[in-house]
């Protein structure tokens, strides 16, 4: 995948699983049995325009006009899907290491929101944890500590037990972000 500005790259990385699922779903819907469930959850979380355009893509639409009226984030996701349909080599890497510097603030914000009673954020965090479990390795271990993080656990040694170096760095970065958010 081409090098994108950091913000754009973060958006694409956050939605890599969805992008791949839609591209695969366009080629063989049976290969992604959870796609409809994911789209319904996205609609419930307010991603109505994005899901409407994805449904049009799944129905066979490929015209550039699909991008009209979308916000920046939705436009990047749809562009990545359309490019991936034309050339699978442009798809974001599913096996890329998570960039902790970019992921930590987002994960910390979701943990903070869930800890303070935001039900929508808690649901998003749960969905993200499910995806992490499927990824295995440190991501599965990170999924396993989401509940303790939401419940207030901040002991880095407990939270990083069994993780590799990159997973540990990510957890420490999340804890640093949470400490900043908790002081505000």
Show which of 90, 124, 147 is a domain's final residue: 90
pLDDT in tens, 137-156: 788 888 899 999 999 999 99
φ, ψ (nearest 5 deg) of residue 85 = -70, -35
Same domain (yes/no): 121, 81: no
Tell me how far apart the alpha carbons of residues 100 and 154 are, in angstroms, rounded to a whole number.
17
Work out the percent of the chain whose per-residue pLDDT is above 70: 90
Round to whole Å and give the CA distance between 13 and 177. Answer: 19
Average pLDDT over the chain, rounded to whole?
83
What pLDDT score was predicted for residue 4? 54
Does some domain include residue 141? yes
User: Does residue 55 contact residue 39 with C-beta atoms inside 8 Å?
Assistant: yes
The total number of residues written for the chain in this structure: 184
pLDDT for position 99: 54
| Residue 1 resides in a domain | no
pLDDT (0 to 100) of residue 91: 87
Instruction: Out of 55, 70, 90, pick the residue that ends a domain.
Output: 90
Averaged pLDDT for residues 120-132: 77
Domain that holds residue 130: 100-182
Question: Is 10 in the same domain as 82?
Answer: yes
For residues 67 and 109, membership in a common domain is answered with no
One domain, residues 81 and 156: no
DSSP-derived secondary structure letter, 181: H
- CA-CA distances (angstroms) from residue 79 to 4, 43, 133, 138? 13, 19, 27, 30
pLDDT recorded at residue 1: 45
pLDDT tens digits, one per residue of 31-56: 877 788 888 877 877 789 999 999 99
Are 48 and 106 found together in one domain? no
The tokens describing 140, both together, are 């599965």
In terms of Cβ atoms closer than 10 Å to its own Cβ (0-12, 13-18, 19+), residue 89 is: exposed
Q: How many domains does the chain have?
A: 2
Domain boundary among 65, 90, 115: 90
| pTM of the predicted protein model | 0.56
Same domain, 37 and 66: yes
Handedness of CA 37, 43, 46, 49 (dihedral sign): positive
Same domain, yes or no: 76 and 36: yes
């Amino acid at each position: 995948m081409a090098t994108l500005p950091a913000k754009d790259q973060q958006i694409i990385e956050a939605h890599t699983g969805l992008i791949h699922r839609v591209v695969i779903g366009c080629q063989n819907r049976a290969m992604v049995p959870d796609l409809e469930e994911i789209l319904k959850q996205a609609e419930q979380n307010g991603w109505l325009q994005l899901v409407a355009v994805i449904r049009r893509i799944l129905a066979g639409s490929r015209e550039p006009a699909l991008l009209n009226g979308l916000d920046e984030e939705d436009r990047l996701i749809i562009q990545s899907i359309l490019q991936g349909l034309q050339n699978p080599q442009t798809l974001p890497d599913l096996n890329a290491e998570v960039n902790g510097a970019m992921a930590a603030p987002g994960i910390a914000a979701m943990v903070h929101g869930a800890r303070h009673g935001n039900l929508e954020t808690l649901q998003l965090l749960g969905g993200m944890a499910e995806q992490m479990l499927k990824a295995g390795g440190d991501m599965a271990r990170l999924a396993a500590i989401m509940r303790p993080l939401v419940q207030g656990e901040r002991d880095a040694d407990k939270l990083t037990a069994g993780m590799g170096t990159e997973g540990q760095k990510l957890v420490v970065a999340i804890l640093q972000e949470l400490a900043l958010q908790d002081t505000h």
